[in-house]
Chains A and B, each alone.
Chain A
Amino acid sequence: MIGKQASPPLTPVQVAWLGALLVSAQWPLWGHILIWNAVAGAVLVFARVALPPQWRALTRHRRWLLPLLAIAGALGIRTELGYFVARDPCVQFLYLLVGIKFIESRDTRDGTLLICLALFLSLTQFFYLQTIGAALSTVPVLLALGGTLASLRGGAPAAASDWRALLRSTTRLILQGIPLAALLFVLFPRLAGPLWGSPTEAGARSGLSDTMRPGSISELSLSDAVAFRVDFNGRPPPPAQRYWRGPVLSRFDGREWRAVYKLLPGKFVPRQVRPIEYTVTLEPHGKVWLFALEHPSALPRSPGNDPLSPAGNEIAYLTYDQQLVAKAAVVQAVRYTQRSSLRDSYPGTDDNPRESLQLPRNNPRTLAFAKEMREGVDSDRAYVNAVLKWFHNEPFVYTLSPPLLDRDPVDGFLFDTRRGFCEHYAGAFTVLLRAAGIPARVVTGYQGGEMNLDGDYMIVRQSDAHAWTEALLDGQWQRFDPTAAVAPSRIERGLGAALPAGEQVPYFARLEMTWIKSLRLKWDSVNYQWQRGVVGFNIERQRDLLAGFGLEDARPWQLVAVVAGAVFIWGALLLGAARLRRSRVDTEVVLWNALCSRLGRAGLARAPEEGPLAYTRRAAKRWPQWASVLARIGERYAQLHYGPLDPRRDQMIEELRTGVDALPRPRALNEASRSTSAAKESPETVE
């Protein structure tokens, strides 16, 4: 309709709004991007808002400056990250780009482009973090978005520069849009998988790894971060049975234990005891394994699905060594329902003796010790018990900060230092078993978990990371925990109870329940609900929710009809609300009624047929010292309510309000009048 038109240049007010929008979109990313990039983008935005125009002329006369800056930024990002055509570098570049574009922006068309870029940029923070804080950080973005749009609209300069009014009207619009947004959030179809590419993400996350060397688990144990949370369908198991099985490590190079990946299918343990059922909400750890109590008796399912038809919803495999391996890396929080039989052994054969007996040549003292000890007993089981007893009797110390050992670390640990954390005990114990010809391997995972009574769920933290051993005895893979032989309280009561006094223990692993700790547990419960209800709202939870409304089999057009109907009602309510507001009782009536009831309580009720002027005149006779105020009130009310629409209406309402406020409370009114009347000795006061 309108041809090419020169867009009006940006005014300082519009530039300020754009700056606010860009800053509010940029700052949540500061923790996730390269530091120099964060600084450069912020400085560019600041420069456009704050620097005088002659500085910007610098870029206008040297047109190559900004493209050069962009290219340099892109190269810098490419160099630091090692790649460019991927999600993270693009986020970094977009962050820088909005600053560069802002510097050279001149007219409102540039403003439109910047609004769009900033809005998208504020979405990218959710690639990295979807916490409550991250969600709140978009509130300023939305406010600034509305303000910027309104200021770019133009109109009277006075109206556009009143930023408070713009914020107020934007807030109103956002609030009005919330019901619609909530409806769409719930009903908009979620996808089971990505549309393009793979939403995996580089970047280290804390958690167990598929290797274990001295120090790796004790390092992890210093972290309070949540590994996963568990809702039990029934009572949680006792602490001693809370062995959450994770990666199984069988290859040992003398120093480091390593997982062997073989996707041989496994068999579930036979059901001898009633399985326990629970739902795990696993924080993303970027690896493939899922955690289950030993030992899983079924494959994990997405929660809420029909248990009778789990086909198509399997999210993991069971391997031959009883590991649950997810089909895709856990890059975002995942929820699954799991069943386990609580037992410490499962039937097995020595499926791969070379692997579960493999030992390197170093650590000669350990090998000799094992051979000697095995010869002293008559069975493998007696040997295992003898070794555990030896651990228990010898002066071993359970500590988070063991001394460093370089060559033959197992020898050094068993015979010299005797100070170690669970990875030392599990590793050395497995070596001792293998040296005696017993197939054995290291199992890592988590041991323990704390009930959060606020939310009635269990939190398992990184500080619960643990390592133990399983050995093949009499056709059963049997769990042995050498740490329990050294520090039994680790298993029963957790890390805080097992470590000697004076050791640095992560906050939540400590035993005492301070109010700070209970407060933080409450906060964790809020976070958990957030994680479960908002961030983890996916296709399954959507299906559950729809099922709750009897819409589980709804066809797409039915959902569209629901949304359309709701949108219609929403619009009708909003437009109707405007009409209602119009017919709402006017301010002057409210004030007048307040006055009438006050005078009524003072003993002078208004007769139903009495008009405002007559009534105030009568009141003025009764309280002559307020006569002028009363007269003004009556006059103003009559003008406002019965007179023609006056442009000074607001001012008149204010006058009416001041008048009504000036009158004292009923009792004070009567007392004041009594005293003056008494002074005048009027006979009327005798009542």
Chain B
Amino acid sequence: MTTLGIAGLRTQARSWNARVRQRVWRLAPGDLDRVVLHHSRIFILPTRRGLALMATLATMLLTSMNYALSLGFALTFLAGGMVAAGLLATFRNLAGLAASPLGAGEAFAGGDLEFTLSLASGSRQRIGITVAGRQGLPNSVDLPPGATRPVALSIPAPKRGHLGLGRISLSSDFPLGIWRAWAYVHFPLTGTVFPAPEAGAPPLPPGRHGSYVGRSSRLADTELAGLRDYERGDALNRIAWKAVARGAGWYSKQFEGTGGGGMLELHWLELPAGADTETRLSRFTTWILAAERAARPFSLHIPGTVLSTGQGAAHRRAALTALALFPPDDR
């Protein structure tokens, strides 16, 4: 009974502790939608310059006390009043600012993944709002009153897989640079990082001739090989618009690469046995990009995922995402 009670208290204390930690540090992505910054979220501390200024004011105060300089007190307190008013101004510059998540981009490992937020200034002007993630360059914006602006934030993406935006900080040291106010916001924004393309990968393997490839002729890469029936998802720039304009129906243009035309089957087991998982994923990434450039339809067969033959941006993204999320080697 008592042990249960104590245990209950302990769990309660732990959850309370967790709530406080979340409230202060925002370590979990708890901000599901638009966040309006107000006093419970905004921290404010003096900057280094602010500390130096306050130390000077303290020295001035001591001097005024020692020499009984009434006007010294007056000067010190006037400057101190300005510092205090600066604190409020810095706070006001951040308070009432609204941030919403807009979206996450895509990137290849080793590149930068771009996240987009939107900042709404509300009723007042916002100056020098710095948006910073865990890593990467912070982004600084000014907003006129009543404005809503997208703000992009690039986060380095070293590894394939999912990449969360993580906790970001919105900060400002306007107007005097002696106080820095900041607020943590943690949106559950996540982007996908595709495997890095393999440098010096072998050329695309020869494809198998599919049913509709027969109409094509073998020509140099990027030369028009022929037309095929339009399929949903084909890129707009591949549509044979002249044919559409003539009323001949919907066709897509097909281009020919040197590596052999036709449908491509990317098969996990067809890669050299010595290659490790990451190399295989990188090579597939390279090939998928090459196939897309060459406008060759491809299918993907990797353990756990099979993508049937297809083409176009959606297909490509599905294939790359499958590669990105492939479970890493346990060894």
Interface set, chain B 75-134, CB cutoff 8 A to A: 75-86, 88-89, 91-92, 123-124, 127-128
Q: Indicate which residue in A152, A179, A181, A538 contacts B80 across the interface (CB closer than 8 Å).
A: A181
**What chain B residues lie within 8 Å of A155 (beta carbons)?**
127-128, 140, 142, 174
Chain A contributes a number of interface residues (CB within 8 A of B) equal to: 63
Instruction: From B52, B62, B71, B140, give the contact of A112 (CB < 8 A).
Output: B52
Contacts of A535 in B (CB 8 A): 70-71
Residue of A nearest to B57 (CB): A119
Instruction: Name the residue on B nearest A113 (C-beta).
Output: B52
Set of chain A residues within 8 Å of B71, measured between Cβ atoms: 126, 130, 134-135, 138, 534-535
- A191, B68: Cβ atoms closer than 8 Å: yes
Stretch at the interface among B175-183, B195-203, B303-311: B175-183
Cα separation A138 to B78 with both chains bound (whole Å): 10
Q: Interface readout for A203-225 with B: 1 if CB under 8 Å, 0 if not?
A: 00000000000000000000000
Residue from B59, B65, B177 in contact with A149 in the complex, judged by beta carbons closer than 8 Å: B177
Rounded to whole Å, the gap between the CB of B90 and the closest CB of chain A is 10
Q: Report whether A195 and B66 are in contact in the complex, using a CB–CB cutoff of 8 Å.
A: yes
The stretch of A168-176, A272-280, A299-307, A337-345 that contacts the partner chain: A168-176
Which A residues are in CB contact (< 8 Å) with B79?
A: 119, 142, 145
Known contacts A145-B79, A146-B176, A153-B174; is-contact A116 B70 (Cβ 8 Å): no
Q: Evaluate contact between A120 and B56: CB separation under 8 angstroms.
A: yes
Residue of B nearest to A118 (CB): B56
Q: Which residue of A is nearest B147, CB measured?
A: A647
Whether A154 pairs with B177 at a CB distance below 8 angstroms is: yes
Do A112 and B67 have beta carbons less than 8 Å apart? no
A residues 540-583 touching B (CB-CB < 8 Å): 567, 571, 574-575, 578, 582
Complex interface: stretch among A182-190, A589-597, A612-620: A182-190
Q: List A contacts of B259 (CB < 8 A).
A: none
Decide: A159 near B127, CB < 8 A? Known: A123-B64, A177-B84: yes
Main secondary structure on B side of the interface with A? helix
User: Once the chains are docked, how many angstroms separate the CA of A120 from the CA of B128?
Assistant: 29
Complex interface: chain B residues within 8 A of A150 (CB): 175-177
The reply to whether B85 and A176 form a contact with Cβ atoms under 8 Å apart is: yes
Q: How far is the CA of A184 from the CA of B78 in the complex (A)?
A: 9
B243 sits at the interface (CB 8 A): no
B30-65 to A contact mask, C-beta < 8 Å, 1/0: 000000000000000000110011011101101111
How many angstroms from the CA of A155 to the CA of B67 in the assembled complex?
A: 40
**With A152-B177, A571-B88, A645-B146: A534-B70 Cβ-Cβ less than 8 Å:** yes
A122 within 8 A of B: yes
Instruction: Give Cα A138 to B71, complex, Å.
Output: 10
A191 to B, closest residue via Cβ = B65
Which A residues are in CB contact (< 8 Å) with B123?
582
CA gap between A149 and B47 in the complex, in Å: 12
B binding-site residues for A, Cβ under 8 Å: 48-49, 52-53, 55-57, 59-60, 62-86, 88-89, 91-92, 123-124, 127-128, 140, 142, 144, 146-147, 173-178
Q: Which residues of A contact B (CB under 8 A)?
A: 112-113, 115-116, 119-120, 122-123, 126-127, 130, 134-135, 138, 141-142, 145-146, 149-150, 152-156, 159, 169-170, 172-174, 176-182, 184-185, 188, 190-191, 194-197, 199, 332, 534-538, 567, 571, 574-575, 578, 582, 645, 647, 649
Q: A115-B56, A141-B75 are in contact. List 14 more A-B contacts (CB 8 A).
A: A116-B53, A116-B56, A120-B60, A142-B82, A149-B53, A150-B176, A156-B128, A170-B82, A173-B82, A173-B176, A177-B84, A178-B78, A191-B68, A574-B85
Task: Please list 16 pairs of residues, one from A and one from B, whose beta carbons are closer than 8 Å in the complex, sorted by A's number.
Answer: A120-B56, A120-B63, A134-B71, A135-B74, A138-B75, A149-B53, A153-B177, A176-B81, A177-B81, A180-B77, A184-B73, A196-B66, A197-B66, A199-B68, A534-B70, A537-B70
